[in-house]
């Protein structure tokens, strides 16, 4: 197994110790012999070794975990195998909030070289800190992930994720540089400039949220620019759940492949998992993150291939290691070998979040389910909002969605017929009727970051998805 050499906690370029030999690797060569060639047995060996070390590390360095372990009578020596991970307590976002800002850190602040944080739109921000080793490992992981999409050192990647406390921009930035590709750190916003930059600079890869990609396309149309004028050959999209229907819409409009990337700031940021060219699930970088799927109600592990809540244990992080972190993201795991030859477990694209679920008249509904229905109608665009209200003690779902053509070109009969078709399909699939509002293009404010889809007036709380 390759181990990086560090000098007083700092990486010395890309130097690896393999037995008695020391080698230097750079650019595209970096990923040649990494995780794709590992067997399931070797992956399990690496995970087990690192899990045991991580448990001991958090017990000795994070008072929160020492207290949690002591409360259930568990000592680090009780963890001897991967199966023993089930003995460990869960960590939640609320735990991070209660230990705000630095209570979950495992190293002194003079070893923290970067801090990121969540938006805090649904509560107190969650703060994460990185040592220099964490940053360098993150860059390695993202470089490996990007290479699975087919990104090479010859590509020019425009990063339209937000830079700053959000992990998206800087996270993928370092991975691009580690791979040897060129990065354009344009950040989010200023959409017309984004498009001109793509055209003038010869950008080949676009990285942003999927909803912002569609906004970029709409703006291109208004500017009279055709995607054929650009050199774009792929997109790397994440930071929000998006349906297969939205992916197909993006691919049809831009005429390139749209790849999903997964991550969350608490665990690391983008690059925890990503697709390969076969787009049959996202390969989790298992040498660094131990995944589980649990039933969010019973908290018991489900069988392989069953849907549940995704849980991660970090295996190498120094700054803020996490044990069995509950992501609230709904997915499933596939341990079968991928067509690309990689043995890393694949997670199904995020179905939704357990805390995004809307309960309307006793029916459990996820925003992504509504999105799939809306995008099955060619008359409708991907821009929509969901409002949940309560009238006369009854819950009501109001779906506002933009038309692909102006309402002025549609008769009242045509609009009423479309509403009825949408509502009927909504009822057939979700078992509820709702109020459908058909609005003109650009009537719904588009986000240049994560999309804001749901307004629950029963709780007066905006939910990010």
Nearest-angstrom CA–CA distance, 290 and 341: 20
Looking at the chain, the whole-number percentage of residues with pLDDT higher than 70 is 88
Threshold 0.85, pTM exceeds: no
Mean pLDDT of all residues in 298-306: 95
Q: Are residues 38 and 131 in the same domain?
A: yes
Nearest to 263 by CA among 254, 273, 253, 255: 273
Average pLDDT along the chain: 88
The phi and psi torsions of 236 (rounded to 5 degrees) equal: -120, 105
pLDDT at 430: 87
pLDDT at 211: 86
Nearest to 454 by CA among 390, 406, 387: 387
pLDDT at 454: 86
pLDDT at 451: 75
Nearest-angstrom CA–CA distance, 213 and 207: 9
The tokens of 309 are what?
């809540």
- What's the longest Cα–Cα distance across the chain? 78
Number of domains forming the structure of the chain: 2
pLDDT at 365: 86
Which region among 12-26, 116-130, 270-284 has the lowest average model confidence (pLDDT)? 12-26
Q: Are residues 154 and 114 in the same domain?
A: yes
Q: What digits encode the pLDDT tens for the residues 104-151?
A: 999 999 999 999 998 654 557 899 999 999 999 999 999 999 999 999
Task: Report which DSSP code applies to 13.
Answer: E
Helix (H) or strand (E) holding 249: helix 244-254
Nearest-angstrom CA–CA distance, 307 and 293: 7
Mean pLDDT of all residues in 68-92: 98
Instruction: Give Cα 426 distance to the centre of its chain.
Output: 27
The phi and psi torsions of 276 (rounded to 5 degrees) equal: -115, -175
pLDDT at 355: 74
pLDDT band, very low/low/confident/very high, at 161 (cuts 50, 70, 90): very high
Residue 92, domain CATH:
3.40.50.12780
Q: Are residues 146 and 255 in the same domain?
A: yes
Most confidently modeled range among 356-360, 405-409, 412-416: 412-416
The tokens of 11 are what?
């990486």
Alpha-carbon separation of residue 224 from 228, 290, 380, 395 (angstroms) = 12, 47, 22, 43
Q: Are residues 320 and 364 in the same domain?
A: no
pLDDT band, very low/low/confident/very high, at 393 (cuts 50, 70, 90): low
55: three-class secondary structure by DSSP: helix
Residue 363, domain CATH:
3.30.300.30
Nearest-angstrom CA–CA distance, 197 and 88: 49
Contacts with 339 (C-beta within 8 Å, 6 or more apart), sequence order: 278, 280
24: three-class secondary structure by DSSP: strand
pLDDT band, very low/low/confident/very high, at 32 (cuts 50, 70, 90): very low
pLDDT at 36: 54
Q: Are residues 298 and 414 in the same domain?
A: no
Which region among 194-208, 394-408, 417-431, 440-454 has the lowest average model confidence (pLDDT)? 440-454
Q: How open is the CA angle 97-142-266, to the nearest 5 degrees? A: 5
Q: Of 355, 378, 409, which one is at a domain's C-terminal end? A: 355
138: three-class secondary structure by DSSP: helix
pLDDT at 25: 34
Q: Are residues 302 and 395 in the same domain?
A: no
Q: Are residues 131 and 155 in the same domain?
A: yes
Which region among 3-7, 181-185, 422-426 has the lowest average model confidence (pLDDT)? 3-7
pLDDT at 10: 35
Structural domain harbouring 415:
358-464
Q: Of 295, 321, 355, which one is at a domain's C-terminal end? A: 355
């Amino acid at each position: 197994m390759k181990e990086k050499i560090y000098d007083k906690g700092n990486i010395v370029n890309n130097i690896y110790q393999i037995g008695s030999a020391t080698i230097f690797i750079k650019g595209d060569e970096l990923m040649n012999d990494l995780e794709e060639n590992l067997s399931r047995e070797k992956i399990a060996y690496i995970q087990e070794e690192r899990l045991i070390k991580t448990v001991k590390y958090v017990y000795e360095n994070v008072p929160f975990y020492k207290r949690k372990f002591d409360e259930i009578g568990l000592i680090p020596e009780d963890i001897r195998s991967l199966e023993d991970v089930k003995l460990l307590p869960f960590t939640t976002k609320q735990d991070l909030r209660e230990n705000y800002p630095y209570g979950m850190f495992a190293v002194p602040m003079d070893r923290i070289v970067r801090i990121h944080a969540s938006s805090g739109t649904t509560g107190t921000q969650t703060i994460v800190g990185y040592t220099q080793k964490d940053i360098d490992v993150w860059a390695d992981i993202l470089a490996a992930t990007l290479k699975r999409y087919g990104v090479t050192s010859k590509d020019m990647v425009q990063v339209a994720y937000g830079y700053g406390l959000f992990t998206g921009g800087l996270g993928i930035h370092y991975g691009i540089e580690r791979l040897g590709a060129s990065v354009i750190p344009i950040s989010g916003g200023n959409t017309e400039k984004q498009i001109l930059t793509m055209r003038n600079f010869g950008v080949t890869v676009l990285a942003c949220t999927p909803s912002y990609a569609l906004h970029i396309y709409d703006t291109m149309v208004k500017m009279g620019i055709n995607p054929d004028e650009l050199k774009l050959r792929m997109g790397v999209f994440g930071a929000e759940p998006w349906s297969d229907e939205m992916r197909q819409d993006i691919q049809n409009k831009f005429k390139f492949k749209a790849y999903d990337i997964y991550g969350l700031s608490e665990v690391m940021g983008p690059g925890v998992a990503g697709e390969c060219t076969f787009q049959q699930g996202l390969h989790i970088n298992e040498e660094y993150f131990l995944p589980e799927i649990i039933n969010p109600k019973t908290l018991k592990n489900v069988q392989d291939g069953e849907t549940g809540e995704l849980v991660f244990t970090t295996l190498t992080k120094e700054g803020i290691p996490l044990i069995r972190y509950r992501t609230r993201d709904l997915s499933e795991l596939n341990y079968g070998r991928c067509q690309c030859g990689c043995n890393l477990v694949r997670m199904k694209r995020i179905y939704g979040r357990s805390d995004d679920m809307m309960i309307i008249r006793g029916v459990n509904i996820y925003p992504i389910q509504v999105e799939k229905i809306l995008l099955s109608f060619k008359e409708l665009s991907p821009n929509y909002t969901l409002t949940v209200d309560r009238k006369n003690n009854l819950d009501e779902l109001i779906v506002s969605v933009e038309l692909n053509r102006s309402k002025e070109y549609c008769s009242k009969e045509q609009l009423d017929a479309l509403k009825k078709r949408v509502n009927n399909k909504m009822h057939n699939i979700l078992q509820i009727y709702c109020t459908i509002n058909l609005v003109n293009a650009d009537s719904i404010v588009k986000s240049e970051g994560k999309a804001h889809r749901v307004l629950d007036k029963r709780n007066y709380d905006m939910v990010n998805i």
